[in-house]
Structure 1
Amino acid sequence: MVGGQSGKDAFITEGFDNWILHKQMKLEQSNYEIRLRVTIRSCRFLLKNALPFRGYDETEKEDKEKIFNVTLENAPKNEKLTSPTIQKDIVNCFSKEIIKSICDEIGKDVFGILVDESSDVSKKEQIAIVLRYIDRVGIVNERFIGVVHVLDTSSLTLKVAIDTVFSNNNLTIDQVRGQGYDEASNISGAFNGLKSLILNENSYAHYIHCFAHQLQLVVVGVAKKHDDVEEFFEQLGLVVNVVCGSCKRKDMIR
């Protein structure tokens, strides 16, 4: 008597309808949103203050009962919002929103580009990209918009990386009015350097040697010619290496 025992064909014509289950699902969704907001707020605080995401102090400091009841030890055991993977995803979202706001501020106006190449601790080649522009109230801004991993440091590879960053942020080479690099041949080369590849597409993208790098070269050159200065920096380097090799030595020098 399948059809006669129930006044409602819940599983056949109208689908499953259980208000208790729906209520439980809404509660879980609400609790998850609370945990997500707390995680985002914590990530924002750590990023703003340049603090590590992991440390020796994992004490429970949340004093709002509504939040405390669904977070930390009270959260589901399979919750992953505190995992490094999720935290990196949240940080990546912050990064995209910040870069978007910078590029929206530039809009269709012109800007200069500053690029330098460097390898990280894992020995991956990468380039750092900075945009220099004047905002709507006439203030000059320099905004770091990211580090891009590259397979090599040839001028063509660097050009492709910059084109990709521009394309992803609605910017174009035609907007560039200045280039600032060091004197590495793959970047400042007159024929096949990065500056030349950009100038071939936009003749208004004037190249200027990075003044900070020029100043560094001058200081290093002068220091090496002065015996007392050279000896000072040599001894300073030894002290830094010795102190930085031990946490106890760091505490002692403090």
Structure 2
Amino acid sequence: FLVRQGLAVRGHTDEESNFRKLVKLVSQNNPELQTFNAKYSSHDTLNELIKEMYQECLNYLLSQIKEAEIYFIVVDETRDVAGHEQLCFSIRWVSQDYVIGEDFIGMYDCPKTDAESLFLTIKDILQHCGLDVDCMRGQTYDGASVLQGHMSGVAKRIKDVNPKAVSVHCMNHSLNLILQEAGSKCVMIQSALSLLQELHDIIHSSPKRLATFENIRASYSSPSGGLHSLKPTCPTHWKARTQVIESVLLNYRAIYDTLEEPIATEGNTEAAKKAPGLRALRTCFDVFLGLKVSLKIFSAAKEVARVMQS
């Protein structure tokens, strides 16, 4: 239950852990559990049980993929909060009933991120899963040269082993790159987008300014029935821009009033220096128009990204 719901098995102390509290709750209606002596609650035992559950689920999934015979790999690199590079590995396949499945297989450590190391890591994953490379019919990555490079990238190395493994650049990632490039060519849109993170940072960098903003925001009403808090920008999340722009437009007046606070009370601080310029931009027609135009473009692209991702 805990693993399925993504809850921590243990807490700061064993006595207050989710596992023990769950066992205590279930035992209230299970007399056999109350008299059961073997606890099986040590750290090593619980970790072993979780690994066994993972392996059981993985084996069932792999048996279905092997039955389908052909498959498509989806690979991406990511960095965790500790700064360690990890390889996110998923498999896309079609069942005998023509139902498309895309399943996450696991996260794997990548001490080295050169093409050769990533290629060997992918081969090891496939070998561990018992999947034949010759049955691969496709591979997709983002646009990183180490992955998509046509001379010595990971995609090229896999195609050398199996020419039938067609390389596909992630369509959502391609769309995101196109929008970024198109936006950078329009000064009006670029100015509007650069304002978004500045507004979020200046308000959220101070608990006092954030509290002021929340109070002002609560005093205003929105045509849509409710105001949203400001969202931080995320250059790698293609659906996030729409939410960020919407949050600024819905809070346009509240942001303007909030920026009076550092000007009036914070003297010669960095925020007090930036606030007048940001307030001036807020009243600039080009910036407002840029946000409106950007919203039209990115909201349409958001729906396209949602459909492609599903």
Question: How many angstroms does 1:241 deviate by?
Answer: 7.1
8 Å CA contact retained: 2:75, 2:89: yes
Pair 1:99-2:55 in alignment: no
Bigger drift between 97-106 and 180-189 goes to: 97-106
Which stretches in structure 1 are left out of the alignment for 5+ residues? Answer: 1-44, 244-252
Q: Could you tell me the TM-score, scaled by structure 1's length?
A: 0.67
Query: Higher helix share goes to which structure?
Result: 2
CA distance in 1, matches of 2:107, 2:145: 21
Q: Residue 89 of structure 1 is aligned with which of 44, 48, 53?
A: 48
8 Å CA contact retained: 2:91, 2:104: yes
Q: Residue 68 of structure 1 is aligned with which of 34, 41, 48?
A: 34
**Which residue in the other structure is 2:76 paired with?**
116
8 Å CA contact retained: 1:223, 1:230: no
Question: How many angstroms does 1:66 deviate by?
Answer: 1.6
Which secondary structure does the structure 1 equivalent of 2:3 belong to? helix
**Which residue in the other structure is 2:130 paired with?**
170
8 Å CA contact retained: 2:40, 2:46: no
Query: In the TM superposition, what whole-angstrom CA distance separates every residue of 1:195-254 from its partner, at most 9, and x where no partner exists?
Result: 0100001111111101121233344445665233442354346667778xxxxxxxxx8x
Pair 1:127-2:93 in alignment: no
Aligned-pair identity in percent equals 22
Larger radius of gyration: 1
What code does the residue aligned with 1:118 have? T
CA distance in 1, matches of 2:143, 2:149: 8
**Which residue in the other structure is 1:146 paired with?**
106
**Which residue in the other structure is 1:156 paired with?**
116
CA distance in 2, matches of 1:53, 1:239: 37
**Could you say what the CA RMSD is over the residues aligned between the two structures, in angstroms?**
2.9
Distance of aligned partners of 1:241 and 1:50 in 2 relative to their CA distance in 1, 3 Å threshold: farther
CA distance in 2, matches of 1:215, 1:131: 22
8 Å CA contact retained: 1:179, 1:207: yes
Question: How many angstroms does 1:182 deviate by?
Answer: 1.0
Which stretches in structure 2 are left out of the alignment for 5+ residues? Answer: 208-228, 230-310
**Which residue in the other structure is 2:174 paired with?**
214
Count, aligned residues? 196
Pair 1:52-2:8 in alignment: yes
Which secondary structure does the structure 2 equivalent of 1:95 belong to? helix
Distance of aligned partners of 1:238 and 1:69 in 2 relative to their CA distance in 1, 3 Å threshold: farther
Distance of aligned partners of 1:54 and 1:100 in 2 relative to their CA distance in 1, 3 Å threshold: same
Q: Residue 235 of structure 1 is aligned with which of 199, 211, 222?
A: 199
Distance of aligned partners of 1:240 and 1:52 in 2 relative to their CA distance in 1, 3 Å threshold: farther
Which secondary structure does the structure 1 equivalent of 2:8 belong to? coil
8 Å CA contact retained: 2:73, 2:91: yes
Which secondary structure does the structure 2 equivalent of 1:53 belong to? coil
Distance of aligned partners of 1:238 and 1:207 in 2 relative to their CA distance in 1, 3 Å threshold: farther
8 Å CA contact retained: 2:71, 2:138: yes
CA distance in 2, matches of 1:241, 1:106: 48
Query: In the TM superposition, what whole-angstrom CA distance separates every residue of 1:164-198 from its partner, at most 9, and x where no partner exists?
Result: 11111210110111110111111111111000100
**Which residue in the other structure is 2:246 paired with?**
none
Distance of aligned partners of 1:54 and 1:106 in 2 relative to their CA distance in 1, 3 Å threshold: same
Question: How many angstroms does 1:145 deviate by?
Answer: 0.6
Question: How many angstroms does 1:121 deviate by?
Answer: 2.2
Q: Could you tell me the TM-score, scaled by structure 2's length?
A: 0.56
**Which residue in the other structure is 2:150 paired with?**
190
Distance of aligned partners of 1:145 and 1:237 in 2 relative to their CA distance in 1, 3 Å threshold: farther
8 Å CA contact retained: 1:155, 1:187: yes
Query: In the TM superposition, what whole-angstrom CA distance separates every residue of 1:86-131 from its partner, at most 9, and x where no partner exists?
Result: 3222222222222211211121611111111112222222211111
CA distance in 1, matches of 2:203, 2:64: 45
8 Å CA contact retained: 1:134, 1:140: yes
